[in-house]
Amino acid sequence: MNTLWLYTTIILTTFSLKAHSNPTCNPNDSMTLKHFMNGMESPIPGWTSNSSNCCNWDGVTCDLSGNVIKLELSKKKLVGTLVNSFTNLTNLRTLNLSRNLLKGTPPVSLFHLQCLQVLDLSANEFSGSLPDSVNLPMIQLLDISDNNFEGPIAVGFCINSTGIKVLRLGVNYFDGEVPLEFENCSVLEELSLDGNFVSGMLPEYLFRLPRLLRLTVQDNAISGQLRNSEVSSLVYLDVSLNYISGRLPDFFHLFPNLSYFAAHSNNLDGRMPFSLVNSRSISSVVLRNNSFSGLIDLNCSAMLNLKLLDLVDNKFTGSIPNNLPACPLLKTIDLGGNNLTGQIPETFKSFNSLCYLSLSMCNLNNLSGSLQILHTCPNLTTLVLSRSFDNEEMPSDANLQFKKLKTLVIPSCKLTGRIPVWLNGLTKLRILDLSWNELTGSIPPFLGSLQSLVYLDLSNNYLSGEIPKSLTGLPDLQFHDNSLELSVEFPISMRRGTNGKAFKYSYGIRFPPTLDLSNNFLTGPVWPEFGNLINLHCLNLRYNELSGNIPSSLGNLTSIETLDLSHNDLTGEIPLSLVSLGMLRKFSIAYNNLTGIIPSGGQFSTFSVSSFEGNPGLCGEFVLSCVKKQKSFQIREYEVIEESLISLPVWTGFGTGFLFAVILLLVLPRIRDKQDTDKFE
């Protein structure tokens, strides 16, 4: 709130200033910015060294006297160091420009701009350590997150800059312990150290900072126990992905305003403390991937604000708590990966607030009864029950209705029976995963009339018959549509890239548009109309008994990244049109009865022999002579195509934005049969 207020004030100030003609830049500030600019390895967009009025430069805001009060250079691809390029006086004197413009005034570092209120250098490539001294007396917001800064954090931020409200140092390479540094930050409202290598214990004084509302230290190397003995003003606390151990202290009564508490992926154990399960303020509890045990015993008559409960992968026992519907706002429940038993409680009937329920890898029984209960929840949009049931029959009651359901995931339950008719009524369904069951019969044509379906996984069943042609008419696979909005807000988590740098992603549901019918007994042709599904990213039909030619229209699948037709009875030649599929990264037509010449060029130059082997009539780069027949190529059956969803950067937006969404990664079975392990990992 206060940050918003701060921004609003600044924006309003800015507008009122822009109404006047721009003032002339204070020469001291001008010089600082020119030094800064010249220290960069590449030009700063919108800055010109020939216009002496730096108030006109992009991202620079001045007050009426020409003092620079705001510098916003987020995401400009800036490369350079702060310390050496503009606090090192030796360096500065060697700059050509400085000599022209200095006029004898000593240079002032960017961290000594006397009127600066906002300094935003986030999402650039700055490196080096922090400057030795900071004197920004007017600063309110300082954001240097998502750069390559390193070294310890100690600078004394709040000694000279006593008015600092927002300090974002996340996603850099800072190390050392959390220093005493912030003790004097008496008006600090937000402190973020996410995604660094900070170690040691989390100092207790941070909880006592009188104005602090938001503290995030996710994904560091913080160890020891959490401690606090005084009332804290915190509203948002995230200590996830550290090495915090032992019991979670019974201290939540000291956080009267705490709304979001995340401590996932630490080494916490014991029961959830009394003050937590009785908290009136908390709306999100994220404790996944720890060793909490005991019963899940929330006091819903106290937890009036609870919206999200994520207790995945702990050691909780007992049955699914039947009092959860008494938490009036509870929307998102994920209890997967605990040793829970029994059934979905009767009390879940008409659980009005429930949107998202995931109970993967819990030892539940009675799927039929569970669905009878859950289909009365009016707002349920996501239901994930991977590996929760064992050897039951797929419920076939035609009365089951899930009017708002968008995601239905029930794989690896050894379900028998057929693909049920009641799916026909799930008109909002976008994601359907019934893979790794023992379903028989044919694929019902009505699946093709589910208007919103973009992800269909029926692989690894005993389905037979032809692929219904209707699947080639799924509207959302025919048009590009990346607006798969998340129905529920999920916690943001961190993940390290190969360079050791953290990036953010959300657990929310986003799946690449997929048709996976592999490992069944499907017969008949690969319909030429599959070529209409231009939004499809993955088409997997391997290990079936499909016959006929590979339609050349598949060359129209401009979004396709994975195309696997291997282990079928396909004949004819490989259509030349496939060479034009520029996004194709995984391709196999191995073990069919194809003939002719393997086309070359395009993505085909990146595929190895394993994509083509097992087709005695095929000649090409790898198979020099058709006469030689099947050379003794190594058969690596499951290696060809499968790759994790993570590796589909185009679709997930990994390359462009940091919000990278994976979900069933966390809720789908991780202990699937060997053959499947490569699928969602």
Ligand X SMILES: *[C@@H]1O[C@H](CO)[C@@H](O)[C@H](O)[C@H]1NC(C)=O
Binding range to ligand X, per CB under 6 A, among 264-272, 474-482, 501-509, 639-647: 264-272
Helix (H, G, I), strand (E, B) or coil at 521: strand
126 in Cβ contact with 83 (< 8 Å): no
Minimum distance of ligand X from residue 188's CB (angstroms): 13
Nearest to 237 by CA among 274, 184, 276, 289: 276
Between strands 284-286 and 308-310, the pairing is parallel
Helix H or strand E encompassing 371: helix 367-374
Amino acid present at 89: L
Is residue 671 within 8 Å of 360, Cβ to Cβ? no
Name which of 160 and 372 has its Cβ closer to ligand X: 160
Residue 55 main-chain phi, psi, to 5 deg: -65, -20
Q: Which of 58, 183, 230, 639 binds ligand X (CB under 6 A)?
A: 183
Stretch that binds ligand X, among 85-93, 140-148, 458-466, 515-523 (CB under 6 A): 85-93
Is-contact 335 320, C-beta < 8 A? yes
Residue in the block written with tokens 């290598």:
197
Binding mask 266-305 for ligand X (x = CB under 6 A): xx---------------------x----------------
Burial 586-607 (b: 16+ CB within 10 A, else e): bbbbbbbebeeebbeeebbeeb
How near is the Cβ of 634 to ligand X at its closest, in Å?
20
Residue 189, Ramachandran bin (φ over 0: left; ψ between -120 and 50: alpha; else beta):
alpha
**Does 649 sit near ligand X (CB under 6 A)?**
no
x/- binding map, residues 379-418, to ligand X, per CB under 6 A? Answer: x---------------------------------------
Q: Is residue 192 within 8 Å of 213, Cβ to Cβ? A: no
Q: According to the binding rule CB under 6 A, does residue 547 interact with ligand X?
A: no
Please tell me whether residue 56 binds ligand X under the rule CB under 6 A.
no
User: What is the distance in angstroms between the CA of the first residue and the CA of the last residue of the chain?
Assistant: 38
Nearer residue to ligand X within complex by CB, 133 or 675: 133
Sequential DSSP letters for 57-125: STTEEE-TTS-EEEEE-TTS--EEESHHHHT-HHHHHT-HHHHHH-TTPPP--GGG-TT--EEE--SSE
**Between 85 and 518, CB nearer to ligand X:** 85
The residue type of 405 is L
Determine the distance from the C-alpha atom of residue 68 to the mean position of all C-alpha atoms in its chain, rounded to a whole number.
37
Does the footprint of ligand X cover residue 593 (CB under 6 A)? yes
Q: Which stretch binds ligand X (CB under 6 A): 131-139, 195-203, 217-225, 501-509?
A: 131-139
Q: How far is the CB of 671 from ligand X (least distance, A)?
A: 12
Instruction: Tell me the closest approach of the beta carbon of residue 640 to ligand X, in angstroms.
Output: 20
245 in contact with ligand X (CB under 6 A): no
Contact yes or no for 386/363 (Cβ under 8 A): no
Q: Does 510 bind ligand X (CB under 6 A)?
A: no
Kindly state the tokens that stand for 306. Answer: 């609870």
The residue type found at 497 is: G
105 contributes a contact to ligand X by CB under 6 A: yes
Q: Does 614 bind ligand X (CB under 6 A)?
A: no
- Among 649, 602, 601, 597, CA closest to 620: 597
- Length, in residues, of the chain: 681
| Residue 555 is a binding residue for ligand X (CB under 6 A) | yes
Asked whether position 259 contacts ligand X by CB under 6 A, the answer is no
Alpha-carbon span 24 to 317, nearest angstrom: 68
Q: Choose, by CB under 6 A, the member of 317, 451, 606, 644 that binds ligand X.
A: 317
Among 291, 352, 424, 482, binds ligand X (CB under 6 A): 352
Tokens of 608: 């190895």
Among 45, 246, 256, 649, the residue binding ligand X under the rule CB under 6 A is 256
- Contacts (Cβ under 8 Å, ≥6 apart) of 315: 291, 292, 293, 338, 339
Residue of 110, 113, 114 whose CA lies nearest to 130: 110
Please give the structure tokens belonging to residue 126: 């700055």
Shortest Å distance, C-beta 394 to ligand X: 26
Q: Does the protein bind ligand X through residue 160 (CB under 6 A)?
A: yes
Nearest approach in angstroms of CB 96 to ligand X is 4
Distance CA 460, CA 410 (A): 13
Q: Which of residues 13-32 bind ligand X (CB under 6 A)?
A: 26-28
Residues in contact with ligand X, counted by CB under 6 A, come to a total of 45
Residue whose token pair is 């090192």: 88
- 609 touches 590 (CB < 8 A): no
Exposed/middle/buried for residue 659 (C-beta within 10 Å: 0-12, 13-18, 19+): middle
Question: To the nearest whole angstrom, how small is the minimum distance from the Cβ of residue 434 to ligand X?
Answer: 24
The interface region with ligand X, picked from 405-413, 502-510, 553-561, 645-653 by CB under 6 A, is: 553-561
Pick from 11, 12, 64, 231 the residue near ligand X by CB under 6 A.
231
Out of 37, 130, 134, 394, the residue judged to bind ligand X by CB under 6 A: 134
**Is position 35 an interface residue for ligand X (rule: CB under 6 A)?**
no
159 binds ligand X (CB under 6 A): yes
Among 23, 156, 468, 653, binds ligand X (CB under 6 A): 156
- The values of phi and psi at residue 180, to 5°, are -70, -20
Instruction: Confirm or reject binding of residue 552 to ligand X (CB under 6 A).
Output: yes
Q: Which is nearer to ligand X, 96 or 625 (CB)?
A: 96
CB closer to ligand X out of 100 and 396: 100
Q: How far is the CB of 410 from ligand X (least distance, A)?
A: 22
Q: Of all helices (H) and strands (E), which one includes residue 310?
A: strand 308-310
**Stretch binding ligand X (CB under 6 A), from 83-91, 437-445, 517-525, 673-681:** 83-91
Among 553, 580, 603, 677, indicate the residue that binds ligand X (CB under 6 A): 553
Q: Is 180 in the site for ligand X (CB under 6 A)?
A: yes
In the stretch 184-213, what mask flags binding to ligand X with x, by CB under 6 A?
x-----------------------------
Choices 89-97, 458-466, 497-505, 506-514; region in contact with ligand X by CB under 6 A: 89-97
Nearer to ligand X, 447 or 667 (CB): 667
Residue ranges that bind ligand X, judged by CB under 6 A:
26-28, 48, 50-51, 84, 88, 90-91, 96, 105, 112, 133-135, 156, 159-160, 180, 183-184, 231, 233, 256-257, 265-267, 289, 317, 339, 341, 352-353, 378-379, 531, 552-553, 555-556, 571, 577, 593
